Amino acid sequence: MPPSLVQTFRAFAYNNAWANHRLLKACAALSQAEFAAARTGFFPSLQATLNHIYIIDHFYIDALEGGWLGPAAWANEVPFRSIAGLKPAQRAMDQRLIDICDALTPERLETIVKINRDTSVQTERRDRLLMHLFQHQIHHRGQAHAMLSETSVKPPQLDEFFAAGEAPLRAQEFTELGWTETTVWGG
């Protein structure tokens, strides 16, 4: 596998964390009632949708780290009732995913990950599992974004992917995250 593909996975991990930062920062402006209010989506609220992202991240990131958490990940469907609790937990989970991707090599992308499915063991190539996880995150963040548009809080732009010319537009958020362009892209 080409070394440049490793950088692509790293960039996806950083973009995931950046998008979560933007979305959860916007959601922090909601009241608790707005955060938990029933809305149209695959999951019935922003609270449920954003907790689902966290839970599934936990499930797959644990497996990518060699853990055996399995279905215990979703024993509590809403581990964080408030955005104040969810935001730092998601940030920590995002950092774990960044750490996984920072440690990738072309050879490691082709290794097999074992996933505890309770009654069976699923095996997936690491690169395929990462792409599945990134797609899952994007899918449900999009639903949360649409739900947020039903509130008094303007949804943040999430459809950018680190265009070089737009670095000044994200500089403040990168500072909040403790990153620089070099952190993401190397240098």
**pLDDT above 90 (res 97):** yes
Mean pLDDT of 133-151: 98
**pLDDT of the residue at 156:** 96
Mean pLDDT of 88-116: 98
How far is the C-alpha of 146 from the C-alpha of 150, rounded, in Å?
A: 7
Express each pLDDT in 156-180 by its tens digit.
Answer: 999 877 889 999 999 999 999 999 9
CATH superfamily, with its number, for domain 3-185: dinb family like domain (1.20.120.450)
Mean pLDDT of 53-67: 99
Q: How confident is the model at residue 62 (pLDDT cuts 50, 70, 90)?
A: very high
50-66: b or e for each residue (b if 16 or more CB lie within 10 Å)? bbbbbbbbbbbbbbbee
Residues 6+ positions from 76 with CB-CB distance below 8 Å: none
Q: What is the pTM of this model?
A: 0.96
Domain boundaries, the chain: 3-185
